[in-house]
């Protein structure tokens, strides 16, 4: 998941169906089941946002005894609700999600593991309150420019 805080759009160049990539714009959240490939990049030198990687295989193997599940976050439920058949969710962040992502961003110089876990759970709980449908289809072929 990517939470974009900057005014500059972030290109996430992944192997989507049809040789496309997605643009995560200012104040957008992107949830995806698509694993980054060697084509994965952030254009430009400045990226302001946070990423949360959740390894579904590890969570499934833990059978409910993982950190997220024990705190009420069901990763498979997030995938089912938000990623749908194409594996990608793009939506403008709610005010609550944006505020939490901003707090995490402020800790970027000296992150503390306990606080990062705390904010991850809060952000994911807030994400579950957002609309389940992507806001727009922001997909492009590799030949198109940003």
Print pLDDT tens along the chain (146 aa).
777 776 555 554 444 555 556 677 788 888 887 766 555 555 545 567 787 888 888 888 999 898 889 988 888 888 888 887 777 788 899 999 999 999 999 998 999 999 999 999 999 999 999 998 887 655 544 454 44
121 part of a folded domain: yes
Write down the pTM of the prediction. 0.77
Residue 93 belongs to domain spanning? 2-141
Q: Strand 10-16's sheet: what is its strand order?
A: 10-16, 20-24, 139-141
pLDDT at 113: 93
**Whole-number Å distance between alpha carbons of 82 and 31:** 7
The DSSP bridge pattern shows strands 20-24 and 139-141 to be: antiparallel
39 part of a folded domain: yes
Q: Where are the alpha helices (DSSP H) in 26-109?
A: 56-62, 67-70, 75-78, 95-106
24 part of a folded domain: yes
pLDDT at 129: 93
9 part of a folded domain: yes
124 part of a folded domain: yes
Element (H, E) at 125: helix 113-127
pLDDT at 38: 53
Domain count, the chain: 1
pLDDT at 44: 46
């Amino acid at each position: 998941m990517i939470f974009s805080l900057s005014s500059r759009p972030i290109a996430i160049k992944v192997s989507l169906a049809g040789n496309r990539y997605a643009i995560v714009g200012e104040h957008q959240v992107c949830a995806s089941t698509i694993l980054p490939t060697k084509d994965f990049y952030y254009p430009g030198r400045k990226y302001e946002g946070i990423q949360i990687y959740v390894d579904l295989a590890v969570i499934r193997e833990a059978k409910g005894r993982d950190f997220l599940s024990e705190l009420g976050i069901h990763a498979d439920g997030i995938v089912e609700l938000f990623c749908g058949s194409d594996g990608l969710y793009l939506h403008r962040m709610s005010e609550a999600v944006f505020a939490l992502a901003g707090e995490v961003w402020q800790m970027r110089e000296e992150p503390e593991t306990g606080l990062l876990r705390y904010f991850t759970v809060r952000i994911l709980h807030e994400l579950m309150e957002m609309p389940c449908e992507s806001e727009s289809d922001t997909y492009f072929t590799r030949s198109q420019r940003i």
